[in-house]
Amino acid sequence: EVLLEESGGGLVQAGGSLRLSCVASGFNFDDYAIGWFRQAPGKEREGVSCISSYDGRPVYYYVDTVKGRASISSDNAKNTVWLQIDDVKPDDTAVYYCAADGPFTTAHSMCVTTGLDYWGQGIQVTVSS
């Protein structure tokens, strides 16, 4: 059974930081791209940041609205991916989803589509102004 378990959401003050964790199980983590998506009320789900591997090195994708503020990282030994967003804004308020796609999906191709293999349940992040 595939599981993607998100944690770390909640209420964050504008200007602060949020850090989300996604622990994966049930598939070959090393071969899959992992990403974070979000959906705000009344808006479509969008890819925030994704990470994949090419030639043994990580490849990253960030949506323009978080570039310079976000950092995605992974630990293959722990089957875990983290997303940190600094200087959060009210527009970062959304339900955040962890997703996985593969094998051998690239970070960019993953983050620009929503037809992916596996999804987590989602976790609420609310940024207060």
Where are the strands (E) in 1-129, listed by range? Answer: 3-7, 10-13, 18-25, 33-39, 46-54, 57-62, 70-75, 80-85, 94-101, 118-119, 123-128
Q: Is the dihedral of CA 37, 121, 126, 87 positive or negative?
A: negative
In this predicted structure, the answer to whether residue 104 has a pLDDT above a threshold of 90 is no
**Do residues 113 and 97 touch, judged by C-beta distance below 8 A?**
no
Instruction: Give the pLDDT confidence of 11-43 residue by residue, as tens digits.
Output: 999 999 999 999 999 999 999 999 999 999 999
One-letter amino acid at 79 equals N
Q: C-alpha distances in angstroms, 105 versus 6, 20, 26, 89, 102?
A: 21, 22, 17, 30, 5
Average pLDDT of the chain to the nearest whole number: 96
Cα gap 55→77, rounded to integer Å: 18
